[in-house]
Amino acid sequence: MKKIDRSLIALLLIYSFMHGVLIFLHDEKQVFWYVYTGLLLFSSLGYVFYERNIESKRLFQSIGTGLIAAFIIVFIYTVLLQFHQAITFNGLLREMIKMGVYFKWQLIITLIVAIPLHELYMRALLQDRIMQYIHPIAAIIITSVMSTALFSYAIPLNTIIMIFIVQLVISISYVYTKRLITPIMGEICAIVLLIMIFGR
C-alpha cells in the first residue's frame, strides 16, 4: 500500500479538529453557522497543500459542468420533495435559522466565502489526496460522507440525506473536471436556483 504522505495526515488532523470543536459545541446549535464559518477559515490553512491540476479541462467546460451539477441538484430536490414533504424549502430555511443564519448578509457570506472554502478543503485538497490511494468512486463516497458529517450536529436526518446527495453530485462533477470552480459553481448556482424557484 502506498505510504500516506504528510499533507493527507495534516488535512485529516484539521478535519478531526473541526469535528472536535463541533462535538464540544453540539448543544449550541444557534451558533453553528458562526462556528462552522470560523472553522472553514481555519481549514484554509490547508491551502498550502493546494496544487492546481495542469491537465484539467478548459475553464468554460468546468463552469458548464458546475451549472449542470446545479440543475441536477435542483431536479433531485424537486423529485424528493414530491415524496418527502419534510424537506420543503421553508423547512430548510427554518433549519438554517436554528443554526444561526438570521440575516441576508450571512447567506451572502456563505455563498462567497464559506462554500468556496468548503470546496477548497473537501474537494481540491482532501478528495484529491484520497484519490491517490483509492479508487475515485470510493473517494467520492468517502469525501461526501465526511463533508456531510460536519453538518450532522445541527440538522435532522432527512436534511442530512439531502446534503449527502448534493455532496455526491458535487464530488462527481469535480472528478470530471479537476477544477475547483466546478463544485463552487455547482453549489452556489443550486442554492440561487432553489431560492428563485421555491423561495417565493
pLDDT digits (tens, 9 = 90+) for 11-23: 888 899 988 888 8
Q: Which of 108, 109, 151, 142 is nearest to 123 (CA)?
A: 142
pLDDT reported for residue 83: 76
144/127 Cα distance (integer angstroms) = 9
The C-alpha cell at 36 is: 462552522
pLDDT reported for residue 64: 93
How much of the chain exceeds pLDDT 70, in percent? Answer: 82
pLDDT reported for residue 93: 67
pLDDT reported for residue 184: 93
Residues whose CB falls within 8 Å of the CB of residue 64, separated by 6 or more in sequence, listed in order: none
- pLDDT tens by residue, 44-71: 777 766 666 555 557 888 999 999 999 9
Q: Indicate the pTM of the whole model.
A: 0.85
How is residue 154 annotated by DSSP?
T
Q: Which segments of 1-99 does DSSP mark as H helices, in order?
A: 6-24, 32-43, 59-83, 89-98
The stretch 184-193 carries a mean pLDDT of: 91
120/116 Cα distance (integer angstroms) = 6
Using the predicted structure, report yes or no on whether residue 41 has a pLDDT greater than 80. yes
183 contacts 69 by C-beta, under 8 angstroms: yes
pLDDT reported for residue 72: 95
> Residue 153: which pLDDT band, with cuts at 50, 70 and 90?
confident
188/63 Cα distance (integer angstroms) = 12
